[in-house]
Amino acid sequence: MLHGKRILLIISGGIAAYKCLDLIRRLRERGASVRCVLTDAATQFVTPLSVSALSEDRVYGDLFSLTDEAEMGHIQLSRDADLLVVAPATTNIMAKMAQGIGDDLATTVLLATDKDVLVAPSMNVRMWEHAATQENITTLKSRGIRFAGPTEGNMACGEFGEGRMVEPLEIVAEIETYFAASAPLAGRRAVVTSGPTLEAIDPVRYIANRSSGKQGHAIAAALAGMGAETILVTGPTSEAAPPGVEVHHIESAREMYDACMSALPADIAVCAAAVADWRPAEQGDSKIKKEHDAAPPRIEMIENPDILRTLSAAGNQRPALVVGFAAETDNLIENATSKRKRKGCDWIVANDVSPETGTFGGETNTVHLITGTDTEAWPAMRKTDVADRLAERIAHHFDQNTEAAE
Ligand code: CTP
């Protein structure tokens, strides 16, 4: 869900600061990058070294550091972020935010930002209940500052009550909700196919292809990152399940077909899998034996269902946007253009899979996007960048269509 999101985490000086180490880890696991600003007081609770090791970035803290300002000014810190998170937020930092005080790097960044801010308060119950704190909270909420918690519970000071910082995973959930609501593909459902299919000859042998699943998996991750509810139907690959994606593992083309059909209805279908066109007509239950002196077996092949073509002609179940891939070794544009028409899909991504391109199994891809009105040549780029660009194009397409309908 947080693929590619940039979080600026401001850690102020409360005992709950130790939980931020886990928060950083959880955010990064979900694909976010986390840059951290520590107040002086925060460094009494967690060390910049731990924060830096977990965020894999340098840690910022000094407003007047000439090196920091030269490399990354306080304005740039907030410009480079998609969301600011203050966790833990002490009563002191919230008071400064409410009053517009900027007397260190953390508070100056908070004053200088035009990005949304999520605050996870952490303090003693009496400090939380104090009229001054409550007035500050009212002020901050009226300015659109978002709050995660606090919650009620036992406190480090031995008291019980409201003021405990919510657990890291709850802060993560708030952050995910924030991005999901504003994500360009929020409320859309996408089905993506990826990887090869395996077609059994007998219980031990099969016919397969060289697809690695890298491109399809990256597309599923990019669509999920833009807020689409994403179902990935994949043949066997060594790719990890993309975060926030519902993965269905299949082996044969027929299983991929069934999984895709039962994933409908969907708004978007992207067929990036290298589906076997044919399968052995007979798939016996026992291993074909090599008889001495006998001729090698002849394997009769029959056609597999065409998933892309079926999705494109699915009547009222047809996804609003169906995108196919054309894996070609010759006459790329010509073949892909006629493939788009033949399959009935809206767009086709044409890629040259000749062995010298290294596309199958490699990290990069050089594609053309053929939409029917345009043929765009994209430069060679990483498969993850192809995926991000395609997801952006898909979001833009839905944006335009929504505007046109209004
Ligand atoms: N595809 C599919 N189901 C199949 C075969 C292909 O969904 N049984 C999809 C692929 O996922 C891809 C597109 O159709 O999006 C084109 O696949 P490709 O292998 O390039 O084309 P083929 O239909 O197999 O045609 P050819 O082998 O003649 O190039």
> What are the tens digits of pLDDT across the range 87-114?
999 999 999 999 999 999 999 999 999 9
Question: Encoding tokens for residue 8?
Answer: 């600026």
> What proportion of the chain, given as a percentage, has pLDDT over 90?
76
Which comes out higher in pLDDT, residue 297 or 119? 119
Q: Which residues line ligand 1 (CB under 6 A)?
A: 193, 253, 271, 273, 275, 277, 304, 306-308, 324-327, 339, 343
Which atom of ligand 1 lies nearest, measured to the CA of 323? 15
Does residue 3 surpass a pLDDT of 90? Answer: no
| CATH topology match: 6-181 vs 189-405 | yes
Taking Cα atoms as reference points, which of 245, 241, 243, 269 lies closest to residue 257? 269
Does residue 1 surpass a pLDDT of 80? Answer: no
Taking Cα atoms as reference points, which of 279, 389, 405, 254 lies closest to residue 323? 389
Residue 213, pLDDT score:
96
Identify the DSSP state of 143: T
Strand partners, 231: 191, 246
Average pLDDT over residues 341-358: 90
Residue 66, pLDDT score:
54
- Residue 362: pLDDT band (50, 70, 90) is confident
Residue 6, pLDDT score:
96
Which tens digit of pLDDT belongs to each residue from 13-52?
A: 999 999 999 999 999 998 899 999 999 999 999 999 999 9
Distance of CA 38 to the CA centre of its chain: 27
Hey, where are the domains in the chain?
6-181, 189-405
pTM, two decimal places: 0.73
Contact 34, 7 (CB under 8 A): yes
Say if domain 189-405 classifies as CATH 3.30.160.20: no
Which comes out higher in pLDDT, residue 93 or 179? 93
Residue 75, pLDDT score:
78
The catalytic site residues sit at 157
> What proportion of the chain, given as a percentage, has pLDDT over 70?
96
Residue 69, pLDDT score:
59
Which comes out higher in pLDDT, residue 204 or 3? 204
Rounded Cα gap, residues 101 and 184, in angstroms: 35
Rounded Cα gap, residues 62 and 69, in angstroms: 9
Q: What is the mean pLDDT of the chain?
A: 92
Look at domain 6-181 and name its CATH class: alpha beta
Average pLDDT over residues 150-178: 88
Nearest-CA residue for atom 16 of ligand 1: 326
- Residue 290: pLDDT band (50, 70, 90) is confident
Average pLDDT over residues 59-64: 80
Among 26-35, 75-84, 300-309, the least confident range: 75-84
Does residue 327 surpass a pLDDT of 80? Answer: yes
Contact 45, 13 (CB under 8 A): yes
Among 64-73, 139-148, 199-208, the least confident range: 64-73
Contact 114, 131 (CB under 8 A): no
- Residue 204: pLDDT band (50, 70, 90) is very high
Distance of CA 139 to the CA centre of its chain: 34
Name the residue of 198, 308, 329, 341 whose CB sits within 8 Å of the most ligand 1 atoms, as the mutation to test its pocket: 308
Which atom of ligand 1 lies nearest, measured to the CA of 335? 29
Which atom of ligand 1 lies nearest, measured to the CA of 308? 7
Contact 12, 43 (CB under 8 A): no
Residue 68, pLDDT score:
61
Residue 162, pLDDT score:
87
C-alpha separations of 225 from 175, 222, 313, 386 in Å: 13, 5, 28, 14
Contact 168, 9 (CB under 8 A): no
